[in-house]
A and B are shown apart, each in its own frame.
Chain A
């Protein structure tokens, strides 16, 4: 059975950036027909490792052999020529190009013509990936973008597929479809390297696991024989705390009230919102679940006042009608907002953390008079950095220098530092490692415990269930009214995620 050489064998791969040993003599072996999990916290060296596998980084030391033969992966073309396909975590997409063009550009020798479109459509049908080929990518949500990446990878018919957090933006049903596809590929003899933070799904579909911590392999195990808890312990070297259940404190008055809100989108291909009703009361966490691209961004923009043409309905914060009020007015009423886009929307990437405080504090907090008080900004930044354990390369780094998890902790911290009475968070832990995610969720739950109203828009059902008192579901721009979290389950919510409210199931 084991007479054939393994699909890929990496021995002693090392990569150093400056003084940081991102990978320290990593060994990893993937057999044909195996779904192999690569686990580790953000910063454990997973991305560095897969970049070396894909020829994007050159290892300082170590060897890679493919089907028993030593190979040098000089660039991604060489990796692709061998049959290595990659689905990136940070999308390698082109905003102004159409979906079809984005797939064509990543496929050797392809042109975005009709014959190629037919090929892509056939593949998309086979793997159940919904794609609108003529839309430009900048109009798409994160989940839709990921489908492009997956289609692009599958089109090469790779023998080894590297998937970096593929399910973080999918519904349970979509994830099931993906797993079915992966099992089909596995049956065809392809090897799969699967990176995920969702340990339950790793336990379900993966047959082997390699665990990285601090750039070193700390364990190799069969995930089917482990529990999610023991896997997590291996990743972080200590137990991950469960989020404490939401308080059962009596909820207070309505801090956010949306009544019959209908909004038409400002951009072509945006999702119109239709007749949305939602109330978030003091002391509770409400989650809005839904597949990416069902109106979440438009709803968030309507809550902040940043976009959309309001047709009818009202948005009230603490009893005050703010439907046509700017975001500053909403903040003065005690609201805080954390958008999905960390770099560019929530922060200016090339500005320091202290300077970035201005973005959401200028209306309500004391940051100096006519002249900015840089001291006050730096003090505030230091406070947030300490309180939320934000780790960066120096005392006041630029936003773009932080890892996703650390930056998200900082952004959430910046809003919480303002002591908001209402906080709306879009995708609080997308692409954030387990420990940071747990800290962010706990912080938000605690905030509700202190009497604030918390609204979380998330594509991660586990997160929705872990944090919330009530769950609403958004689908095709309509909202299913929230139900108490304790009285529902994943399957019921998953079904609502694919049915627009008011339509027959």
Chain B
């Protein structure tokens, strides 16, 4: 059992990595005061286009880059509407998700069932993207809490009116944040199709984008809570797979429910313990229109 521990840990980390990356991206977006419900759509576009690119160019690394760019393009479309035209962010985000799920299925159609070779591990049996996710965690926490850029980003999210009065470029900060979020979601999707499962199938993100959104709420403003939440979720995901294989006398449907159930429990516990200011940015989801 002891000798299995590193293997189990590696499996858990691999399962959690797409969530970590997508949630970190959305965390930055929400800190800037934008609610992008298009995470699922940006992820699936990353998964589909990333896989297609990798097959066509026969290079999984280029595929990862293409997937990340695909997520960013989707985020750009979101930004055009939600920031440029100040549309309702919830509706726009949902539209991006629905649009992404459909378009990804269409693009991925010829590639269903084709396998991809695994990507070699970088260190300790961990692939390069897992290593990148570690850098991303530390980098995001550092950027948000220790730098002036992070302070401005949080300020813009907390009160866009005050930020504008101080002459901070509200829309520019939000655009950059949204594009970063798209990049992360796209990369997370490409990781799923190119490294985690190594095949493409329609709808393969299976709600992971929504779980990433829930993790951001669970994080309540802290990158480390977000990361802890993502790994907890990864652990439950792996545990239920093993439990199903281990033929425990519980119907498998209940075990499959477990990760989603845990998400709900975590959110409920959090909102019960919460008081004012516990989490969300003050201007979250409100369109900003400068008055000049």
Q: Could you list 17 further interchain pairs (A-B, Cβ under 8 angstroms) beyond the known A92-B159, A94-B155, A105-B163?
A: A56-B167, A57-B291, A75-B167, A77-B167, A92-B166, A94-B159, A94-B162, A95-B282, A96-B154, A96-B221, A101-B155, A104-B148, A105-B152, A105-B168, A111-B146, A112-B151, A267-B276
Q: Identify which of residues 100-148 in chain A touch chain B, using a CB-to-CB cut-off of 8 Å.
A: 101, 104-106, 109-112, 136, 138
Residues of A within 8 A of B221 (CB): 96
Residues of B within 8 A of A96 (CB): 154, 158, 221, 277, 281-282
A60 shortest CB reach to chain B, Å: 11
Let me know if A138 and B276 touch, CB within 8 A: yes
Residues of A within 8 A of B155 (CB): 94, 97, 101, 105
B70 shortest CB reach to chain A, Å: 34
Contact with B along A70-93 (1 / 0, CB 8 A): 000001110110000000100111
Residues of B within 8 A of A88 (CB): 165
Most buried by B among A56, A80, A110, A136: A56
Closest to B278 in A: A96
Known contacts A76-B165, A97-B154; is A109 also within 8 Å of B148 by CB? yes
Flag whether B161 is at the interface (Cβ < 8 A).
yes
B147 shortest CB reach to chain A, Å: 7
Please, how many angstroms separate the alpha-carbon atoms of A110 and B147 in the complex? 9
Give the number of residue pairs across the A-B interface with Cβ within 8 Å. Answer: 70
Known contacts A75-B167, A92-B165, A97-B154; is A111 also within 8 Å of B147 by CB? yes
Specify which of B154, B165, B276, B282 is in contact with A56 (CB 8 Å cutoff): B165
B276 shortest CB reach to chain A, Å: 7
Let me know if B167 and A104 touch, CB within 8 A: no
Let me know if A105 and B166 touch, CB within 8 A: yes
Most buried by B among A58, A79, A109, A112: A112
Known contacts A112-B151, A267-B276; is A95 also within 8 Å of B159 by CB? yes
B236 shortest CB reach to chain A, Å: 31
Flag whether B172 is at the interface (Cβ < 8 A).
no
Let me know if A76 and B162 touch, CB within 8 A: no
B37 shortest CB reach to chain A, Å: 22
Closest to A112 in B: B151
B161 shortest CB reach to chain A, Å: 7
Flag whether A55 is at the interface (Cβ < 8 A).
yes
Residues of B within 8 A of A94 (CB): 154-155, 158-159, 162-163, 282
Known contacts A97-B158, A138-B277; is A80 also within 8 Å of B151 by CB? no
Closest to B151 in A: A105
Closest to A76 in B: B167
Let me know if A106 and B275 touch, CB within 8 A: no
Q: Which residues in A have some Cβ–Cβ distance to B below 8 Å?
A: 55-58, 75-77, 79-80, 88, 91-97, 101, 104-106, 109-112, 136, 138, 267
16 sample A-B contacts, Cβ–Cβ < 8 Å, listed by A number: A56-B165, A57-B292, A75-B167, A76-B167, A88-B165, A94-B158, A94-B162, A94-B163, A97-B158, A101-B151, A101-B154, A105-B168, A110-B148, A111-B146, A111-B148, A138-B277
Residues of B within 8 A of A101 (CB): 151, 154-155
Q: Which residues in B have some Cβ–Cβ distance to A below 8 Å?
A: 146-148, 151-152, 154-155, 158-159, 161-168, 221, 275-277, 281-282, 291-292
Known contacts A57-B292, A94-B282, A96-B282; is A106 also within 8 Å of B277 by CB? no
Please, how many angstroms separate the alpha-carbon atoms of A136 and B158 in the complex? 12
B280 shortest CB reach to chain A, Å: 9
Closest to A79 in B: B167
Closest to B147 in A: A111
Let me know if A80 and B167 touch, CB within 8 A: yes
Most buried by A among B148, B152, B163, B291: B148
B49 shortest CB reach to chain A, Å: 37
A22 shortest CB reach to chain B, Å: 12
3 closest Cβ contacts across the A-B interface? A76-B167, A92-B165, A92-B162
Please, how many angstroms separate the alpha-carbon atoms of A111 and B150 in the complex? 10
Please, how many angstroms separate the alpha-carbon atoms of A56 and B290 in the complex? 10
Residues of B within 8 A of A75 (CB): 167
Closest to B159 in A: A94
Residues of B within 8 A of A104 (CB): 148, 151
Please, how many angstroms separate the alpha-carbon atoms of A92 and B277 in the complex? 18
Residues of B within 8 A of A93 (CB): 159, 162
Residues of A within 8 A of B159 (CB): 92-95
A45 shortest CB reach to chain B, Å: 16
Please, how many angstroms separate the alpha-carbon atoms of A96 and B277 in the complex? 6
A112 shortest CB reach to chain B, Å: 6
Closest to A101 in B: B151
